[in-house]
Amino acid sequence: MPTSLQKTLHIFGNALASNRPYHVQWFLTQRCNYRCKGCNVWQVKTQRKELGTEDVKKGLDILKELGTLEIVFSGGNPLLRDDIGEIIEYSSRYFITTIYDNGSMALEKIDALRKADFVAISLDSLDERKNDHVKGVPGAWRRAMEAIKQLHNEGIHVGVSPTISQFNIDEIIDFTKYFIKLDVPVWYCLYWYDQPRKKQLFKIGKKVNEFEIVDGEKFVKVCDSLLELKRKHEGVFITEKTLEVLKKLFLYEKRAWKCQALQSFFMIDPLGKVAGCHLQEPVASIFELPEAWNSVKLQEHRREYEKCTRCAYLCYIFYSLYSDAKSNMEILFDQWKNIKLLAHNFLNSRSKRSINEMGKSKCKFGVE
């Protein structure tokens, strides 16, 4: 995990400030090498045009000035970009930088991933057959498991990201326990799908009956079990507040949050167009955003989005719950155990690298 005094000051200074887009998801590409059944991205005609490296860097400079804390690079598969190493290195100078992979490209791009703060590998089941069914590609499970193991052994902060759905709801707790034992953290997505809209930034979730959660009580029991695991163990990367909100949603159909799109978070597409979330139409380009950020137009959109009840994508719920200085500090207290786990893994990886380097030096000089 790359750290510097400048980066630390940037993050903590903006975490305590107001009117900041703390969280940004940048979909760097629509290109994807998997065929996930619940995803629309690969089924939409591929947008081959993408911002070039220098334009992405200019966009990152703008996000720095706006006070962004965290950037998530996704897609498509962002590792399909030839310049992804340069983008990660530049982003990680100032932001908490996370990059997603389906497990197929991580080992090929492992040197680039060393600069990231977190690498999230999408994996939906410990059952090889079930996982490959979801991903739509034979061998997906094997590649993901190999990537998780090697990245972890190399000291890269890798985590596993399952999408909770009706298809895997019965194994989420055992799945979590398995990776907790390996000191590999788990952070979760929730299956959802896009409601039909004429204009939106891009399409992600596709309606699939076998994935849609229909047993609310069972889902709530999973949330309760995750709360119990979280209180006893490190490695459960979801906050108590998020789990409690999800319980209310599935038990009582109560939305205990207001969407903070274009306030605490927004999305960027491969061409640099900005929208509050992927379900909304673009409001500006990343290059126009500094001038537009405090405009009347965006204030109107923010008021509109606060009333939105269209989706329950888990990342948007999280970003909306943690949308000011006070709640940013709550994350630190909630995730204290996991911060210690990351520090422990980081020190262990440094120790392993030192031992390996000493061994190489001894071999070099003929010492056994």
Q: What is the pLDDT of residues 325-347, one digit of tens each?
A: 999 989 888 877 666 566 655 55
Class assignment of domain 5-364? Answer: alpha beta
pLDDT for position 43: 84
* DSSP state letters, 105-142: STTTTHHHHTT-SEEEEE---SSHHHHHHHHTSTTHHH
pLDDT for position 343: 60
Q: Is the pLDDT of residue 362 over 50?
A: no
Confidence of residue 365 (pLDDT cuts 50, 70, 90): very low
Question: What is the spatial distance between Cα 300 and Cα 205, in angstroms, rounded to a whole number?
Answer: 26
Query: What would the mean pLDDT of 75-104 be, rounded to a whole number?
Result: 97
DSSP 196: P
CB 29 within 8 A of CB 270: yes
pLDDT for position 367: 40
pLDDT for position 336: 72
Distances (CA, A) of 39 to 32, 75, 204, 368: 11, 11, 5, 53
Domain extent listing, the chain: 5-364
Query: What would the mean pLDDT of 198-227 be, rounded to a whole number?
Result: 94
Question: What is the spatial distance between Cα 99 and Cα 121, in angstroms, rounded to a whole number?
Answer: 9
Query: What would the mean pLDDT of 231-242 be, rounded to a whole number?
Result: 94
Question: What is the spatial distance between Cα 331 and Cα 240, in angstroms, rounded to a whole number?
Answer: 10
Confidence of residue 48 (pLDDT cuts 50, 70, 90): low
Mean pLDDT, all residues of the chain: 91
pLDDT for position 366: 43
pLDDT for position 333: 82
